[in-house]
Amino acid sequence: MATADEIYARMQASIENYDSEAAIAAAREAVAAGLDPVEAVEKGFAEPIRRLGEAFDRMDIFLPELVMAADAMKAGMTVLEAAMRASGGTLTRKGVVVLGTVEGDIHDIGKTIVAAMLQANGYEVHDLGVDVPTSRFIEAAEQAGAQIIALSALLSTTMLAQRDVLELLRNKGLRQRYFVIVGGAPVTQTWADQIGANAYGRDAIEAVRVLDSRREEWAR
């Protein structure tokens, strides 16, 4: 029978090789071996995705590679999270994030990378997908008990939907309840300030840094 270290090595290799099927198989092996799922997430998946995120930040790897690594982690995490729910356990998280690409925008890549990097750094992420209706962000945040709403827009025309989410929060009297971070190719700090967002993340690495460094603003 494989040792814990051997299983973690296979989990790490699945991320480093961008292999979703291998990630699923290694996660199932970890569950079958009775490994602590929290430790399996950290040692098996989080460590390599953080390393790859840092490599991307240094431009040592390119976007397609980081996307495939994020997809592999997502596939493996599905197995581990299902096992934890079945046993009545949960991962200890820094905070809860509701994330999605805003209404009218079907770009998925940047948002998927942000989700993976947040998960790898200890956040519980509820990924709503793409073309998310304005009201859905707020409904999901309420249901999940989130502290953070992350809004991605990859088109200048859909940036307006980020503003719409903030306006709806204000209209509902919920603005102070959530830390809202915005990002995407056309988004800037100036735009974030203009619409009243709490923060702007240039990329996935910066999004993590911002949330970690400003925890006193959103933790509750």
- pLDDT, tens digit (0-9, with 9 covering 90-100), for 2-57: 899 999 999 999 999 999 999 999 999 999 999 988 889 889 998 999 999 889 88
Domain boundaries, the chain: 4-87, 96-218
User: Residue 77: pLDDT above 80?
Assistant: yes
Domains 4-87 and 96-218 share a fold: no
Tokens coding 138: 């707020």
Q: Tell me what pLDDT residue 120 has.
A: 85
Architecture category of domain 96-218 in CATH: 3-Layer(aba) Sandwich (3.40)
Residue whose entry in the numeric block shows the structure tokens 């923060």: 199
Distance CA(26)–CA(14), nearest Å, equals: 8
Distance CA(115)–CA(20), nearest Å, equals: 16
pLDDT bracket for residue 91 (50, 70, 90): low
What fold, for 4-87? 1.10.1240
Tokens coding 147: 């502290």
pTM of the shown model: 0.83
C-alpha to C-alpha distances, 119 to 34, 38, 99, nearest whole angstrom: 22, 12, 12
Helices (H) and strands (E) in the chain, counts: 11, 5
